[in-house]
């Protein structure tokens, strides 16, 4: 049995990136579910793995770490995954690093904001988000997608060149996050739509669908405990203020 354990909840975008990468590269691991809506990330046992009480988290023997992008690079290096994922070519690798650095304050927070406003408002408050709350989030995310097309993708097949990389995986999962709320983020974006299809072909639609199943069936999730619901409402307020 593998010494590698991944602590994940596939409702989480960073968790899906790590899960897809490990599965796509046949990396053996034990899957340990930590359900965010149940507050299991706050449990004392999990604090021993990640005192920050966040997922994803990784345990490899006695070694533990958090932060999804750092975990992806660790897995790529340890398991010597195919070079295209994290290229040995210095400039191609720099392009991967460039997107990973940029997304922390762009794609990820903007996609998360749109998801929370569109999907979590009815889940937590029982009504749809008002246009005053939703439109700024949509506008912000569309600006981010334009930047990805014009700055990172340009006329290449993938973000770092002619082959898929960790940058594409991270971007794909981040961009797909708002689809859990029913938003078609690829509408009127033919270049990005073509890129999406190439990513699906490179990774495999079955694996991507498996990883996103929980997100796409969010409405079927069990109600959250009252004390956790208040925490989630506070987070929703953060995204809508």
- Taking only the tens place, the pLDDT of each residue in 152-165 is 999 999 999 999 99
Q: Does 110 fall in a domain? A: yes
Lowest mean pLDDT among 27-31, 173-177, 180-184: 180-184
Residue scoring higher pLDDT (38 or 47): 47
Residues 54 and 96 reside in one and the same domain = no
Report the distance separating Cα 141 and Cα 159, nearest Å: 18
Q: Does 136 fall in a domain? A: yes
Report the distance separating Cα 195 and Cα 46, nearest Å: 37
Single residue among 17, 46, 78 that ends a domain in this structure: 78
Residues 196 and 228 reside in one and the same domain = yes
Percent of residues, the chain, with pLDDT higher than 70: 95
Residues 228 and 202 reside in one and the same domain = yes
Q: Does 44 fall in a domain? A: yes
Residues 111 and 74 reside in one and the same domain = no
Residue scoring higher pLDDT (115 or 93): 93
Residues 57 and 103 reside in one and the same domain = no
Is the pLDDT at 208 greater than 90? The verdict is: yes
Single residue among 78, 109, 124 that ends a domain in this structure: 78
Domain that includes residue 198, residue range = 90-240
Q: Does 62 fall in a domain? A: yes
Lowest mean pLDDT among 38-47, 142-151, 179-188, 213-222: 213-222
Residues 129 and 227 reside in one and the same domain = yes
Report the distance separating Cα 203 and Cα 166, nearest Å: 11
Residues 72 and 119 reside in one and the same domain = no
CATH code (residue 66): 3.40.30.10
Single residue among 49, 78, 107 that ends a domain in this structure: 78
CATH code (residue 170): 1.20.1050.10
Into how many domains does the chain fold? 2
Q: What is the mean pLDDT of residues 122-135?
A: 85
Supply the pLDDT for residue 1: 53
Residue scoring higher pLDDT (73 or 112): 73
Instruction: Provide the CB-side half-sphere exposure for 204 (13 A, CA).
Output: 9
Contact 52, 66 (CB under 8 A): yes
* Residue 149 DSSP class: I
Q: Does 65 fall in a domain? A: yes
Q: What is the mean pLDDT of residues 190-197?
A: 95
pTM of the model: 0.92
Residues 140 and 38 reside in one and the same domain = no
Residues 134 and 222 reside in one and the same domain = yes
Ramachandran angles phi, psi of 219, nearest 5°: -65, -20
Residues 56 and 128 reside in one and the same domain = no
Strands, E, within 81-182: which ranges? none
Residues 173 and 204 reside in one and the same domain = yes
Residues 122 and 71 reside in one and the same domain = no
Report the distance separating Cα 8 and Cα 19, nearest Å: 8
Q: In the structure encoding, which two tokens stand for residue 221, read together?
A: 């999730």
Report the chain's mean pLDDT, rounded to a whole number: 91
Q: Does 85 fall in a domain? A: no
Q: Does 56 fall in a domain? A: yes
Q: Provide the pLDDT confidence category of residue 48 given band limits of 50, 70 and 90.
A: very high
Q: Does 84 fall in a domain? A: no
């Amino acid at each position: 049995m593998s010494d590698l354990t991944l602590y994940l909840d596939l409702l989480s975008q960073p968790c899906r990136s790590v899960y897809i990468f490990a599965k796509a590269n046949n990396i053996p691991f034990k899957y340990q579910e930590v359900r965010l809506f149940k507050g299991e990330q706050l449990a004392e046992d999990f604090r021993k793995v990640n005192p920050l009480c966040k997922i994803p988290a990784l345990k490899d023997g006695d070694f533990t770490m958090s932060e999804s992008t750092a975990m992806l690079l660790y897995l790529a290096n340890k398991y010597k995954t195919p070079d295209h994922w994290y290229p040995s070519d210095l400039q191609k690798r720099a392009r991967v690093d460039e997107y990973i650095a940029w997304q922390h304050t762009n794609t990820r927070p903007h996609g998360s904001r749109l998801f929370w406003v569109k999907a979590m408002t009815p889940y937590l408050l029982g009504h749809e988000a008002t246009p005053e709350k939703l439109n700024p989030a949509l506008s912000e995310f569309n600006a981010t997608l334009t930047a990805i097309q014009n700055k990172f993708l340009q006329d290449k097949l993938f973000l770092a060149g002619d082959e898929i990389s960790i940058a594409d995986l991270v971007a794909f999962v981040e961009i797909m996050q708002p689809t859990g709320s029913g938003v078609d983020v690829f509408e009127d974006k033919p270049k990005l739509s073509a890129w999406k299809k190439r990513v699906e072909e490179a990774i495999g639609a079955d694996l991507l669908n498996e990883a996103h199943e929980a997100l796409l069936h969010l409405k079927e999730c069990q109600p959250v405990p009252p004390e956790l619901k208040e925490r989630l409402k506070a987070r929703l307020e953060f995204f809508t203020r």
